[in-house]
A and B are shown apart, each in its own frame.
Chain A
Amino acid sequence: EVQLLESGGGLVQPGGSLRLSCAASGFTFSSFVISWVRQAPGKGLQWVAAINNRGDGTYYADSVKGRFTISRDNSKNTLFLQMSSLTAEDTAVYYCAKRTSPLSPSFDYWGQGTLVTVSS
Chain B
Amino acid sequence: SQQGEEDPQALSIQEGENATMNCSYKTSINNLQWYRQNSGRGLVHLILIRSNEREKHSGRLRVTLDTSKKSSSLLITASRAADTASYFCATDPSGNTPLVFGKGTRLSVIA
Q: Do A and B come from one complex?
A: no
